[in-house]
Structure 1
Amino acid sequence: MNGPKGPNTRLAHLGNRPHDFHGFVNPPVVRASTVLFPDAETLTSRRQKYTYGTQGTPTTDALADAVNELEGSAGTIFVPSGLAAVTVPLLAFLSAGDHLLIVDSVYGPTRRFANAMLARFGVEVDYYDAALGAGIAGLLKPNTKVVFTESPGSNTFELQDIDAVAAAAHEAGAIVMMDNTWATPLYFRPLDHGVDISIHAATKYPAGHSDILFGMVSANAACWPRLKDAQTNLGTCVSSDEAYQVLRGLRTMGVRLDRHRDSALAIASWLESLPQVDCVLHPGLPSHPQHALFRRDFAGASGIFSFVLKSGGAAEAAAFLNALEIFGLGFSWGGYESLAVPVNLDDRTIRRPYAGPVIRLQIGLEDVADLRADLEKGFRALS
């Protein structure tokens, strides 16, 4: 589309070429494995747009076009889950003897993959404090090939100065990957801040309805060929049905995300006023220690954050959670329903003391008054 357009206008029309498909508003769902060639010469040379189902279809291309425009990327791959969106680029850019730096507040399964499989393959793995910023330069080694970031961090929502981290990494010859699932490309565009590879669990906000497992990885021009080649060699492809569902979810992601943002901020601000709450871990709040960095880099906040009880342990966290009715007790987030889980930080390398249990909330699309009333049940259960 020519000229600047608002986010919801863009989402309504990205990856959408109705007149390529007889005027139908949505692209067709093309289910494919075998693709036929017109002659032996074309088959041998592979000189046609589609060659096999694992290499993409008109449906996955429509989604890729949309995501590339959102990200400002040279190319995007789609994989079967958010975790696969982490593991495929790491496998693409790391070899035995390489060094990998990961932010300590990273998504737990990312840590498990690095500590178990990458370490077994001979990759040296270290973790760094999210607060380091440009100070990460002191941890970079001659064999550091990848710096893996996530901002804000999983469960405790520390922010990083991504521009400073990327600059230091590039100075040392390393590439930068970022899990940007929390913000989506609407609220933060990693490649605009020096990141080379942007990772999303599209299971969350892009799909938006808690019924799809899907991951997407977008790369700049320098990294795109190697990322695409790795996906081809690993065979991590997706079905057109799921790609269609994610593309359909993108159409409403802007309005949903704004609702998640506003409701989460309302709940987070209210929680700060309660005597049972020690602190709220939400970068969109003025009380967050890195709120100025949030205001500098982010266009908005999504619907997931944590809060800390003033005292207690696992039993108190369980009592709070068991009293909830609207909030479901379950993993993932980004869907229409509100969720709550206790946070386990035992895997962290850098330990920070908290006054009591940490509880993570995903604020869905329900009415704020009803969500507050439900949380009040949890606080009453504590007393």
Structure 2
Amino acid sequence: MSTDNSSRGRQDGINTRLAHGPYDPQSQHGFVNPPVVHGSTVLFPSMESLNNRIRAPFTYGLWGTPTTKALEDALTELEGAAGTILLPSGLAAVTVPLLAYLSSGDHCLVVDSVYYPTRRFCDGTLSRLGVEVEYFDPHIGEGIAGLMRPETKVVFLEAPGSNTFEIMDVRVACDAAHAGEAVTMMDNTWATPMFFKPLDHGVDLSIHALTKYPGGHSDVMMGSVSATQTTYGRLRDTQMQIGVNAAPDDVYLVLRGLKTMGIRLERHQASALALAEWLESREEVSEVLHPALPSFPGHALWRRQFSGASGLFAFVLKGDARKAAAFLDALRIFGLGYSWGGHESLAVPVDLSDRTIAKGPGGGALIRLQVGLEDVADLKADLEVGFAAANTL
């Protein structure tokens, strides 16, 4: 079933597009899901076709299969991109575009509230390769233009900020980068294309950990990068030079998860906001970091750019690390574990010792919550048990 309804003068809604995608079941005998193609070698019927294989849709397993193409096409449509590449982890989706566009002697601007493994790659591998990385305040606004240099080749964004959820003006940052002929990249895992489309705001390369909401069930690791017409070729070429793609079984799991991502995100959003509002009323909590709360410092900027919020936010528990440990150890439904975007709720303490500028809030211990698909009343009861345990100290 095709979702191209340009001839009807309208476009299907997001959940309809997620449910059907650009894949045509009639291309595979009517089966509603794309087949899982395991393969490395592709046979050509003649020497002429072998010699002209650049025109063939598939040439070798590393370059992709019908399975990977189905997910690439779905994400490209959602992002409004020229093309998408798939990678075996969210971190790989960060590192491959950075390697594609940075060389020795280049300068790279990175928002200070970036995902810690991104910083580790920048301070480790990029530094070793001779790239100078400079971190900037997520609230810098138009001041980012003053950080641009002739050798600045990449401006790397993440919004909201990792763990502390700072909101930045993406369009302003991209305009400054493009004025200096730099490429912009953005980790958009928190919002997904459901709630924010980076390319519509001037971003050149949109990065996602498909491990999170697109996969949705905590059983797969994958990343994607969706690019503009001018940046896709170099991105794809670098991917093939490095020699990395996603495995077909993992791709199938993300394809399956993508079908229900929209309705799951509606539940994640509603439950997380209900808990965030409730936490604001607790005397044990000094601050709640959720962009959709009117009390959040970047709320107005968030509303101007984003159409929704996901299930990840943080709060400051009054007290020290010992109190936070007691709170976390008492939880039964919230699991203690990393990652997010799955069906289950998670809670972890946040360490911001890597930050150089965006130090985060004071007033206690920072705890990050991933709000899953459980009943809100049960999640509140679980957190109340945590508060009771912390209050005994």
Superposed pair shares fold, TM > 0.5: yes
Aligned partner (choices 185, 189, 197) of residue 177 of structure 1? 185
TM-score, length basis structure 2: 0.96
Counterpart CA distance in 1 for 2:79 and 2:239 is 19
Greater CA drift, 333-342 or 50-59: 50-59
Greater CA drift, 38-47 or 93-102: 38-47
CA apart distance, 1:39: 1.5
Letter in 1 for 2:19: A
SS of the residue 1:308 aligns to: strand
Unaligned runs of 5+ in 1: none
Is it true that 1:36 corresponds to 2:43 in the alignment? Answer: yes
Aligned partner (choices 331, 341, 345) of residue 334 of structure 1? 341
Identity over aligned pairs, percent: 64
Aligned partner (choices 22, 28, 35) of residue 21 of structure 1? 28
Counterpart CA distance in 2 for 1:38 and 1:126 is 52
Aligned partner (choices 349, 357, 364) of residue 356 of structure 1? 364
1:109-258 correspondence runs (5 A): 109-258=117-266
Counterpart CA distance in 2 for 1:15 and 1:111 is 35
Counterpart CA distance in 2 for 1:161 and 1:378 is 36
Letter in 2 for 1:50: F
Assess, with a 3 A threshold, how the Cα gap between structure 1 residues 353 and 335 changes in structure 2: closer, same or farther: closer
Per the alignment, residue 57 of structure 1 pairs with 65
CA contact (8 A) 1:15 1:64 kept: no
Is it true that 1:286 corresponds to 2:291 in the alignment? Answer: no
CA contact (8 A) 1:342 1:359 kept: yes
CA apart distance, 1:44: 2.7
Letter in 2 for 1:94: L
CA contact (8 A) 2:164 2:360 kept: no
Counterpart CA distance in 1 for 2:377 and 2:168 is 33
CA apart distance, 1:5: 1.7
CA apart distance, 1:15: 2.9
CA contact (8 A) 1:15 1:63 kept: no
Per-residue displacement from partner, 1:36-86 (whole Å, max 9, x unpaired)?
Answer: 111123223324211100111111111111111100000000000000000
Counterpart CA distance in 1 for 2:320 and 2:40 is 52
Letter in 2 for 1:382: A
Counterpart CA distance in 1 for 2:207 and 2:378 is 33
Per the alignment, residue 13 of structure 2 pairs with 6
Is it true that 1:101 corresponds to 2:109 in the alignment? Answer: yes
SS of the residue 1:131 aligns to: coil
Is it true that 1:264 corresponds to 2:272 in the alignment? Answer: yes
Per-residue displacement from partner, 1:321-343 (whole Å, max 9, x unpaired)?
Answer: 00000000000000000000000
CA apart distance, 1:244: 1.1
Unaligned runs of 5+ in 2: none
Counterpart CA distance in 1 for 2:340 and 2:118 is 17
Counterpart CA distance in 1 for 2:116 and 2:231 is 25
Is it true that 1:69 corresponds to 2:69 in the alignment? Answer: no
CA apart distance, 1:352: 4.2
Letter in 2 for 1:73: A
Per the alignment, residue 83 of structure 1 pairs with 91
Per the alignment, residue 347 of structure 1 pairs with 354
TM-score, length basis structure 1: 0.99
SS of the residue 2:385 aligns to: helix
Per-residue displacement from partner, 1:255-290 (whole Å, max 9, x unpaired)?
Answer: 000000000000000000000100000001000011
Counterpart CA distance in 2 for 1:316 and 1:103 is 31
Counterpart CA distance in 1 for 2:120 and 2:254 is 27
CA contact (8 A) 1:85 1:201 kept: yes
Per-residue displacement from partner, 1:104-141 (whole Å, max 9, x unpaired)?
Answer: 00000000000000000000000000001211011111
Aligned partner (choices 304, 328, 331) of residue 324 of structure 1? 331
Counterpart CA distance in 1 for 2:31 and 2:60 is 25
Counterpart CA distance in 2 for 1:260 and 1:233 is 38
SS of the residue 1:59 aligns to: helix
Counterpart CA distance in 1 for 2:306 and 2:251 is 27
Aligned length in residues: 382
